[in-house]
């Protein structure tokens, strides 16, 4: 019991001597490492990011790795990252036949595999990884097969977009050619995301041990769906979609979900997979009672991986994160200028930029595992998010209140600015322009000033720049407001009123620019009978609808 007291006494003594030294005019001057290649450390503290800046987008990719919500909100992926799965991890594969798989898809949740284990020959296999698997992860909704979401894979495997797709939206060629590419680098397969995460696995005889095989109870015979689908190419609008959905069964809604792809009707030619989920349920011999339709549990199991750290069984290596948001890919910078966020697509890249990017991926794929600085980039992004995730929305909340007593309201905002900036406030030159500049610079660099830049990979340099610019912008907005707020208590009501409006604009813009994954939440939180769902757009929903919502656990609709 004595130890904690002794320790805290020691800590206080240490603090005392530190304070004494500071007061004795011998401040501990921390050197700031200035990297030549990182422009953000030398820019004026009050300079805004360029309109073409992508640091916020790169930060989002990093902070949202392997999370369902973040990647559902912005379906077109922009990152290719090497990742691993530890030995001893259970993985699942469902099929409508009994033969052992060779090159095929793997799910992380048995609920996801079950929708493929249909028919009287339906089989659900469970594997355990026998060694660490090495995979490549494509972020975004990379398993959704429609244009845009598959761009990063197609550009890597084929060097172009595959607009004319053969078997199963091009998936059969994608897995074949992807695995041919992967073989050169000892990569076992690819991690992608649809309504749950999945792997395209190149060789089931390597790295996996079969631990269970069952013919699951939901194995009903495949029966062709009886209802006539609308003619090929029938468009849906917001107006008639809900009408259509209200007329048809949940199973049919899934079916229509497929028809909302760009190649309507294609699914009809597909003999395997989800189509079978539409078949009437026929219980196996000896079964008693009803056999509920469980086809939608896969969508719910996907949402288990909604928030940080997401699908934990996959460990991405951020030191290999090749990003199509890299500002040196100038063809994409130009393409993005007239686009909305969700129109940004890797497919707009020029031939020259793509050649460089494919070289970068080849270089990182060939790199030994564990190369890089060892910095925990995901952890760093998370720590930064946590520091501001509640504070920024609270400031926004204060600034959204109707103005009743502007002086009191400005004072409340002033307090919140101080709460975040006080670790960077020196006692010298208080109130002078140099004081504010030092606050902003310290605020922007405290997290990253001491990083081991000399050991960074090319991809880590990009992450470092992105994090620095994001912090620079946060600290610019905070310090900019602090310049006006410092003496706001002595200012008139009118002055306070106009400052409140100015700050509201600045902080609204900051929050919109950051667009952090941690803010993708169902408000209010879902009930115990519900789950939080972020629609992924095509092919499962309306193209622009990515609003988080609580759905009933009993709902059977995509
Ligand atoms: C089940 O598998 C057997 C052996 O492969 C095959 O002969 C039979 O046609 C299959 N049944 C169905 C319904 O697919
Ligand atoms: C939805 O409405 C559009 C425009 O009114 C129409 O062309 C289309 O056929 C409708 N789709 C369905 C499935 O009814
Ligand atoms: C970007 O790609 C989209 C989709 O392929 C296309 O519609 C658009 O014209 C392209 N824009 C530019 C600037 O290349
Ligand atoms: C973007 O839009 C502006 C104005 O609408 C136009 O002047 C410009 O040429 C467009 N740029 C591209 C790359 O399409
Ligand atoms: C506004 O709030 C301040 C600080 O709380 C208070 O001193 C002042 O009396 C209030 N003014 C009015 C008009 O309510």
The 3-class secondary structure across 126-182, one letter per residue, is: EEEECCCEEEEEECCCCCCCCCCCCHHHHHHHHCCCCCCCCCCCCHHHHHHHHHHHH
Two tokens, residue 526: 């879902």
Query: Which ligand 1 atom is nearest residue 121's CA?
Result: 1
CA dihedral 368, 192, 537, 56 (to 10 degrees): -20
Pocket of ligand 4 contains residue 51 by CB under 6 Å? no
Digit-coded pLDDT (tens) for 81-126: 999 999 999 999 998 788 999 999 999 999 999 888 876 788 999 9
Q: Give the Å distance between the CA of 348 and the centre of ligand 3.
A: 6
Best residue among 227, 229, 233, 236 to mutate for probing ligand 2's pocket (most ligand atoms within 8 Å of CB) is 236
* Among the listed residues 158, 27, 18, 49, the one whose alpha carbon sits nearest the alpha carbon of residue 472: 49
Does residue 514 register a pLDDT over 60? yes
**What pLDDT score was predicted for residue 327?**
97
Average pLDDT, the chain: 84
Digit-coded pLDDT (tens) for 328-351: 999 999 999 999 999 999 999 999
131 Rama sector, left if φ>0, alpha if ψ -120 to 50, beta otherwise: beta
Query: Which ligand 3 atom is nearest residue 335's CA?
Result: 13
Pocket of ligand 3 contains residue 345 by CB under 6 Å? yes
Out of 1-10, 227-236, 260-269, 396-405, least confident range = 260-269
Closest-CA residue, ligand 4 atom 11, reads: 338
Pocket of ligand 1 contains residue 121 by CB under 6 Å? yes
- Any bridge partners for residue 81, and if so which? 137
**What pLDDT score was predicted for residue 544?**
86
Average pLDDT over residues 57-75: 98
* Among the listed residues 314, 328, 318, the one whose alpha carbon sits nearest the alpha carbon of residue 63: 318
**What pLDDT score was predicted for residue 277?**
35
What pTM was computed for the model?
0.84
Percent of the chain with pLDDT over 90: 68
Range 248-253, long-range pairs (CB < 8 A, 24+ positions): 250/293, 250/296, 250/555, 250/556, 250/557, 251/277, 251/278, 251/293, 251/295, 251/556, 252/225, 252/227, 252/278, 253/556, 253/557, 253/558
**What pLDDT score was predicted for residue 21?**
39
Comparison of pLDDT for 27 and 67, the residue scoring more:
67
Closest-CA residue, ligand 1 atom 1, reads: 121
Best residue among 231, 240, 248, 253 to mutate for probing ligand 2's pocket (most ligand atoms within 8 Å of CB) is 240
**What pLDDT score was predicted for residue 164?**
60
| C-beta separation of 140 from 69 below 8 A | no
**What pLDDT score was predicted for residue 285?**
82
């Amino acid at each position: 019991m004595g130890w904690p007291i002794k320790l805290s006494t020691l800590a206080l003594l240490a603090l005392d001597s530190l304070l004494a030294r500071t007061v004795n005019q011998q401040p501990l001057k921390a050197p700031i490492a200035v990297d030549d290649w990182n422009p953000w450390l030398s820019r004026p503290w009050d300079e805004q990011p360029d309109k073409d800046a992508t640091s916020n987008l790169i930060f989002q990719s990093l902070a949202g790795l392997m999370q369902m919500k973040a990647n559902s909100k912005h379906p077109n992926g922009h990152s290719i990252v090497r990742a691993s799965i530890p030995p001893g991890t259970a993985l699942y594969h469902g099929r409508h036949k009994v033969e052992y798989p060779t090159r095929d898809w793997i799910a992380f949740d048995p609920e996801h595999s079950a929708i493929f284990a249909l028919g009287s020959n339906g089989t659900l296999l469970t594997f355990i990884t026998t060694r660490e698997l090495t995979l490549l992860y494509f972020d975004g909704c990379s398993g959704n097969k429609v244009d845009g979401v598959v761009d990063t894979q197609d550009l890597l495997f084929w060097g172009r977009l595959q607009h004319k797709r053969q078997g199963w939206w091009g998936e059969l060629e994608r897995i074949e050619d992807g695995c041919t590419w992967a073989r050169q680098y000892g990569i076992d397969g690819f991690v992608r995301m649809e309504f749950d995460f999945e792997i395209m696995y190149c060789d089931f005889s390597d790295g996996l041990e079969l631990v269970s095989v069952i013919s699951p109870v939901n194995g009903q015979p495949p029966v062709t769906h009886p209802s006539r689908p609308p003619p090929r190419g029938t468009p849906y609008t917001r107006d008639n979609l809900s009408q259509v959905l209200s007329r048809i069964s949940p199973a049919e809604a899934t079916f229509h979900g497929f028809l909302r792809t760009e190649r309507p009707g294609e699914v009809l030619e597909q003999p395997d997979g989800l189509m079978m989920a539409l078949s009437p349920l026929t219980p196996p011999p000896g079964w008693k009672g009803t056999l509920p339709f469980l086809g939608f549990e896969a969508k719910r199991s996907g949402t288990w991986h909604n928030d940080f750290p997401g699908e934990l069984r996959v460990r991405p290596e951020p030191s290999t994160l090749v990003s199509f948001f890299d500002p040196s890919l100038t063809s994409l910078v130009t393409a993005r200028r007239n686009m909305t966020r969700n129109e940004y697509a890797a497919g707009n890249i020029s031939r020259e930029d793509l050649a460089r990017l494919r070289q970068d991926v080849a270089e990182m794929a060939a790199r030994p595992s564990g190369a890089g600085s060892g910095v925990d980039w995901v952890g760093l992004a998370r720590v930064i998010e946590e520091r501001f995730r509640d504070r920024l929305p609270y400031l926004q909340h204060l600034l959204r209140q109707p103005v009743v007593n502007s002086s009191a309201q400005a004072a409340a905002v002033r307090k919140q600015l101080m709460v975040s900036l006080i670790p960077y406030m020196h006692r010298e030159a208080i109130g002078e322009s140099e004081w504010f500049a030092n606050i902003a610079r310290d605020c922007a660099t405290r997290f990253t000033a001491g990083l081991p830049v000399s050991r960074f990979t090319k991809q880590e340099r990009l992450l470092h720049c992105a994090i620095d610019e994001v912090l620079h912008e946060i600290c610019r907005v905070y310090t900019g407001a602090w310049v006006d707020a410092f003496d706001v208590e002595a200012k008139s009501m009118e002055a306070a009123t106009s400052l409140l409006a100015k700050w509201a604009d600045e902080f609204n813009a900051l929050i919109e620019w950051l667009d952090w994954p941690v803010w993708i939440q169902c408000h209010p939180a879902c009930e115990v009978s519900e789950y939080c769902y972020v629609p992924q757009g095509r092919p499962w929903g309306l193209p622009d609808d990515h609003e988080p919502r609580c759905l009933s656990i009993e709902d059977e609709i995509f």
